[in-house]
Amino acid sequence: MGIRIFWCPSGAKPCTCTEGQADHKRKRDEAAAKRAAEEKAVADKEMRRRVERIIGESGMGERFLQRTFDSYKTNSTTNRKIYAVCLQYAQDFNEQLPRHGQQLPGRNGFIISGDKGTGKTHIAAAIANYLLNKGTAVIFMTERNLLGKIREAYSKSRNYGNDGQSESEIRRIYETVPLLVIDDLGKEKATEWTLATLYAIIDGRYDRAMPTIITTNYDTHNLIKRITPQDGDYELNLVTAEAIVDRLIEMSESIAVTGKSWRGI
Whether the full predicted model's pTM is greater than 0.95, yes or no, is no
Among the ranges given (52-61, 147-156, 220-229), the one the predictor scored with the smallest mean pLDDT: 52-61
Three-state DSSP state, 112:
strand
Identify the weakest region by mean pLDDT among 18-22, 97-101, 200-204, 223-227. 18-22
Average pLDDT, the chain: 84
Among the residue ranges 121-130, 171-180, 234-243, 251-260, the one predicted with the least confidence is 251-260
Whole-number pLDDT of residue 184: 95
Instruction: Answer for the pair 249, 111: CB distance below 8 angstroms, yes or no.
Output: yes
In a domain, 210, yes or no: yes
Residue 108 lies in a domain: yes
Determine the average pLDDT of the residues in 41-67: 74
Residue 32's pLDDT is 66
**pLDDT tens, 26-38?**
777 677 667 766 6
Q: In the prediction, which pLDDT does 129 show?
A: 94
Q: How many domains in the chain?
A: 1
Res 48: pLDDT: 73
Q: Does residue 21 carry a pLDDT above 60?
A: yes
Question: Average of pLDDT values for 108-137?
Answer: 93
Q: In which domain, by residue range, is 57 found?
A: 27-257
CA–CA dist 194, 62 (Å, integer): 26
Residue 9, in any domain of the structure: no
Average pLDDT over residues 104-133: 93
19/85: higher pLDDT:
85
Q: What pLDDT is stored for residue 167 in this prediction? A: 83
What amino acid occupies position 27? Answer: K
160 domain residue, yes or no: yes
In a domain, 120, yes or no: yes
| CATH number of the domain enclosing 165 | 3.40.50.300
Tell me, what's the pLDDT at 131?
A: 95
> Is residue 214 within 8 Å of 185, Cβ to Cβ?
yes
Query: What are the pLDDT digits (tens) for 148-199?
Result: 999 888 776 555 555 556 788 899 999 999 999 999 999 999 999 999 999 9
Residue 60 lies inside a defined structural domain of this protein? yes
**Would the pLDDT of 146 be above 70?**
yes
Determine the 3-state secondary structure of 139 from DSSP.
strand
3-class secondary structure, 140: strand
- What is the model's pLDDT at position 31? 73
Asked whether residue 7 is assigned to any structural domain, the reply reads no
Task: Identify whether 1 is part of a domain.
Answer: no
**Closest by alpha carbon to 251, among 196, 209, 197, 193?**
209
Supply the pLDDT for residue 189.
Answer: 94
Answer yes or no: are the C-beta atoms of 182 and 138 closer than 8 Å.
no
Write down the pLDDT at residue 264: 44
Edge-first strand listing for the sheet containing 138-142: 138-142, 179-183, 212-216, 109-114, 252-257
Q: Mean pLDDT, to the nearest integer, of 132-151?
A: 92
* Residue 53 to residue 187: CA distance in whole angstroms: 27
